[in-house]
């Protein structure tokens, strides 16, 4: 059978796992978003340095600050999951171990994200 596609057409959007470049772009997009979000987080930490608990909770009850903090958590955890996935896929060659580690990566990133979101929401709603 002769394939009539050009070399570029053969590889565009189709990697070895038929996943294309979507994983690559998600990782780059979250990295760019983290530049701004982590900058916000660092500024927030500096601004709240030495503040008491009441000042901290008052700051988190501001919807803009709590929303940005939730974005820091969610985008950061997604970026962490994507990065660890690449490391696991590249450096672990046993399929069984790789599957277990990939599942653990998903569960760990999801747990960290969920626990952090619950904490921020509890504080932001005055709980």
Query: Helices marked H in the chain — which ranges?
Result: 7-11, 22-47, 53-60, 63-91, 95-124
Give the mean model confidence (pLDDT) for residues 8-35.
Answer: 77
Q: 105 pLDDT band (50/70/90 cuts)?
A: very high
Residue 2, both tokens: 């002769």
Joined together, the tokens standing for residue 78 give 């997604």
Predicted confidence band at 22 (pLDDT cuts at 50, 70, 90)? confident
With CA atoms as reference, report the closest residue to 75 among 11, 25, 32, 15. 32
pLDDT of residue 10: 64
**Mean of pLDDT values over 58-65:** 95
Tens of pLDDT, residues 34-43: 999 999 999 9
Confidence of residue 17 (pLDDT cuts 50, 70, 90): low
What's the longest Cα–Cα distance across the chain? Answer: 72
Whether 2 has a pLDDT exceeding 80, the answer reads no
Please give the average per-residue pLDDT across 11-40, as a whole number: 82
Give me the CATH topology for the region 20-124: 3 helical TM bundles of succinate and fumarate reductases (1.20.1300)
Nearest to 38 by CA among 79, 82, 72: 72
Give the residue-averaged pLDDT of 93-102. 95
Q: Which helix (H) or strand (E) holds 108?
A: helix 95-124
């Amino acid at each position: 059978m002769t394939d009539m596609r050009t070399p570029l057409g053969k590889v565009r959007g189709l990697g070895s796992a038929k996943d294309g470049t979507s994983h690559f772009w998600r990782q780059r997009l979250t990295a760019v978003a983290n530049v701004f979000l982590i900058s916000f987080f660092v500024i927030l930490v500096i601004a709240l340095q030495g503040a008491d608990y009441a000042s901290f909770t008052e700051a988190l009850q501001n919807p803009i600050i709590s929303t940005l903090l939730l974005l820091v958590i969610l985008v950061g955890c997604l970026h962490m999951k994507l990065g660890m996935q690449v490391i696991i896929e590249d450096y672990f060659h046993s399929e069984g171990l790789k599957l277990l580690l990939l599942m653990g990566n998903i569960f760990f990133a999801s747990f960290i994200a969920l626990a952090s979101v619950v904490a921020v929401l509890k504080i932001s709603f005055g709980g």
